[in-house]
Amino acid sequence: MDEVLASVAETIKNFAVIYLVDITEVPDFNTMYELYDPSTVMFFFRNKHIMIDLGTGNNNKINWALQEFINIIETVYRGARKGRGLVIAPKDYSTKYRY
């Protein structure tokens, strides 16, 4: 996941910022956002948590590495600017499909 985030950081710099947070430093948010995985990607826009429907059942975060990360970030950004709290992914990433 670190390599995916580092590789897209330059591409998305005009509309998104990537922050790294150590969950041992901020334990108050671990239960609120269910942060238990070693790497988790969450989306925020103007201090509001943006949920994304990827077809996996968990709309709060992404805890798996993916190849089309830039497309997902662009979709979340466009949906958040329109004031949507839940953004639908451009593709279904559930386990019923093989990629």
Average pLDDT, the chain: 77
The domain total for the chain is 1
Determine, yes or no, domain membership for 96: no
Cα–Cα distance between 40 and 1 in angstroms, integer?
9
Determine, yes or no, domain membership for 52: yes
Average pLDDT over residues 63-88: 76
Return the structure tokens found at 49: 């948590």
Q: What percent of the chain has pLDDT over 70?
A: 82
- What pLDDT, on the 0 to 100 scale, is given for residue 3? 78
Residue 79: give the domain boundaries.
2-88
Determine, yes or no, domain membership for 56: yes
Cα-atom radius of gyration of the chain, to the nearest Å?
13
Ramachandran assignment for 93, one of left (phi > 0), alpha (psi -120 to 50 degrees), beta (any other): alpha
Specify the long-range contacts of residues 9-12, CB closer than 8 Å, at least 24 apart: 11/70, 12/70, 12/73, 12/74
Alpha carbon separation from 92 to 18, 23, 41, 89, 98 (Å, rounded) = 24, 28, 17, 7, 11
CATH code for the domain of 67: 3.40.30.10
Determine, yes or no, domain membership for 94: no
Q: Is the pTM of this model over 0.75?
A: no
- What pLDDT, on the 0 to 100 scale, is given for residue 53? 77
Determine, yes or no, domain membership for 10: yes
Tens of pLDDT, residue by residue over 36-74, are 777 788 888 888 888 887 776 766 777 665 667 777 778
Determine, yes or no, domain membership for 58: yes
- Using 50, 70 and 90 to split pLDDT, how confident is the model at 99? very low
Contact of 42 with 49, CB cutoff 8 Å:
yes
Determine, yes or no, domain membership for 66: yes
Determine, yes or no, domain membership for 99: no
